[in-house]
Chain A
């Protein structure tokens, strides 16, 4: 068998429609990480020097869970903006823009990586 290497096959696109709660638009998950944070305390990253933005909690029944976001996902892009080299606050701001009702995330997931690797090996 021959190896086919797809760059994008490790990643998944998720579209979240924000929910209006009073005056706020919420997405229904929590983020951790950032270039100004301590990467060694991130429980979800495989590489403990990875300073990317990770999903640390997903509220049940919220828009993120409905859209398919899972805990432990690493967010690579939000609406085309790169999220791999941002501070924690910048990431928060890009996710909570008041004039956007839909956010399109590009996430990568370890289980996804492993599944693709296994299928490539066999």
Chain B
């Protein structure tokens, strides 16, 4: 228990800091504090080392627009705020209702498709076996004897079916990883093709063989073998259409996040728009830094200030053109001597300096904390049994000395919502177990990482909508733009074709590399 940092709390939500930083800190926080009334719920806990709480520090429904609030596992306070613990913001209501209504419909569609494919696959697999067995069952006595040739054909049918089974398992039996709005065109085409193919084979078999009770058994078996061969070729076609065709990169796709402009480029082959959207989303979770709404409030407040500065009065009576009015307003705003660029510059410079300072303090604190721990070798473990700790206890022991610096740093970079004390302790014990250096431990906190790194509750992006002017099953073309929307932000995707590259060759004889000395001497005479 960090009693050294124990302070008495006198007003809700804030704690006293040591004297010299108090005033500056309070001023800084007051500047950031939003004027709206508190919207979320907060519960503040005092720090106990033995049993840290398991839930995230800010409670479930903390409004994301809050800043300047404490998460005080670094210091200790005992005050509880006055707001209720169960308030939910408007966005959360929208999100919950959307989750409910969407989950039912799509599952039915997905399972329907799967069952159709499974039934068809089973039918197709059993067909050759049926072709071979039916004559034996129905008119065994009339069949011509067919010795080694038929047995050889039986073996080949058996192995080809086995290969087909393994190939189908490898290619198709995968957990569906996504729900997409429309059917896969190629998959549907292949299913239809297989169905027609098998249907025509059954038709021929039924008419020519079953009805006439053909006695040439070798011919029947060869017919079944030809079916299996053709199925293997269809399987090859499926591999080429579904897997190989889109491997060759044809398009460079630029993905830009609408809220902060972060962008990436990806290479894609011939895909439909919905499959391209899937690829983009899969890469989004691991490439883009996590969406942090706390970072956007500065630009929003600047925008609000721009609009609040001008008022337009209508002195000529009704009937004025609205566009002329708004154009005049924009022109007036542009001419106004605005010093907001100055503010932005100094604010950003100030913020940079503060972040760097806190980062330096954090790095020093963590390095110092890590020096207190030493790994015991196997021989030493017998000598001092009383003092041994497992990684969790070791983490809890050194955590208080770096907790405050880490909390301050996270608060300055507005990441405090993404890391709870429990997750930090877990990460610390993980790093201690794996012999990581302080820098490796800090790597997770110094830079915002990709979305996958964080707890699912903090993702803000689970339900996606594909907005496109063209049909989502049509292929990618140069210049196609589509948008992937989720509740809080959207990803704008712009498709560009990789240019046709003309490559020519030039041969250089290795003996043609010759050099001369370029001198400039001066001689005195």
Contacts and interface: CB of A to CB of B under 8 A. Distances in A.
A88 to B, nearest CB: 6
A27 B525 CA distance: 6
B524 A37 contact: no
Q: Most chain-A CB neighbours within 10 Å: which of B519, B522, B523, B525?
A: B525
B520 A32 contact: yes
By secondary structure, the B interface counts as loop
Interface in A75-95: 88, 92, 95
B436 to A, nearest CB: 57
B518 interface: yes
Contacts of A95: 525
A70 interface: no
B521 A88 contact: yes
Secondary structure class of chain A's binding surface, majority of residues: mixed
Contacts, number: 40
18 contacts: A26-B524, A27-B525, A30-B523, A30-B525, A31-B522, A31-B523, A31-B525, A36-B519, A37-B518, A37-B521, A38-B520, A41-B520, A56-B522, A57-B522, A57-B524, A59-B524, A92-B525, A96-B525
Contacts of A42: 520
Contacts of A26: 524-525
A59 B518 CA distance: 27
A41 B521 CA distance: 10
A29 interface: yes
A30 B519 contact: no
Contacts of B525: 26-27, 29-31, 92, 95-96
Contact of A38 (B518, B522, B523, B524): B518
A56 to B, nearest CB: 5
Contacts of A29: 524-525
Contacts of B520: 32, 37-38, 41-42
A32 B524 contact: no
A88 B523 contact: yes
Contacts of A57: 522, 524
A38 B519 CA distance: 5
Given A30-B525, A38-B519, A56-B522, 18 more contacts: A30-B522, A30-B523, A30-B524, A31-B525, A36-B519, A37-B518, A37-B519, A37-B520, A38-B518, A40-B518, A41-B518, A41-B520, A42-B520, A57-B522, A57-B524, A88-B523, A92-B525, A96-B525
Of the listed residues A26, A37, A42, A96, the one surrounded by the most CB atoms of chain B closer than 10 A to its CB is: A37
Interface string B494-525: 00000000000000000000000011111111
Interface residues of B, number: 8
A1 B519 CA distance: 46
A78 to B, nearest CB: 10
Interface string A33-61: 00011101110000000000000110100
Contacts of A36: 519
Contacts of A32: 520-523
A36 B523 CA distance: 14
Contacts of B521: 32, 37, 88
A26 B523 CA distance: 12
When A and B form their complex, which 5 residue pairs have the shortest distance between CB atoms, in order from nearest? A38-B518, A30-B524, A41-B520, A95-B525, A32-B522
A12 to B, nearest CB: 19
A96 B525 CA distance: 7
Contacts of A88: 519, 521, 523
B523 A92 contact: yes
Contacts of A27: 525
Nearest to A16: B525
A91 to B, nearest CB: 8
A31 B518 CA distance: 17
A38 B521 CA distance: 9
Nearest to A93: B525
A88 B519 CA distance: 10
Contacts of B522: 30-32, 56-57
A57 B519 CA distance: 18
A34 B29 CA distance: 77
A96 B520 CA distance: 20
B524 to A, nearest CB: 4
B122 to A, nearest CB: 83
B325 to A, nearest CB: 68
A62 B523 CA distance: 16
A34 to B, nearest CB: 8
Nearest to A40: B518
B517 to A, nearest CB: 9
A88 B518 CA distance: 13
Contacts of B518: 37-38, 40-41
Nearest to B519: A37
A41 B522 CA distance: 12
Nearest to A92: B523
A21 to B, nearest CB: 12
A70 to B, nearest CB: 16
Contacts of A30: 522-525
A42 B520 CA distance: 8
Nearest to B521: A88
Nearest to A26: B525
Nearest to A24: B525
Interface string B422-463: 000000000000000000000000000000000000000000
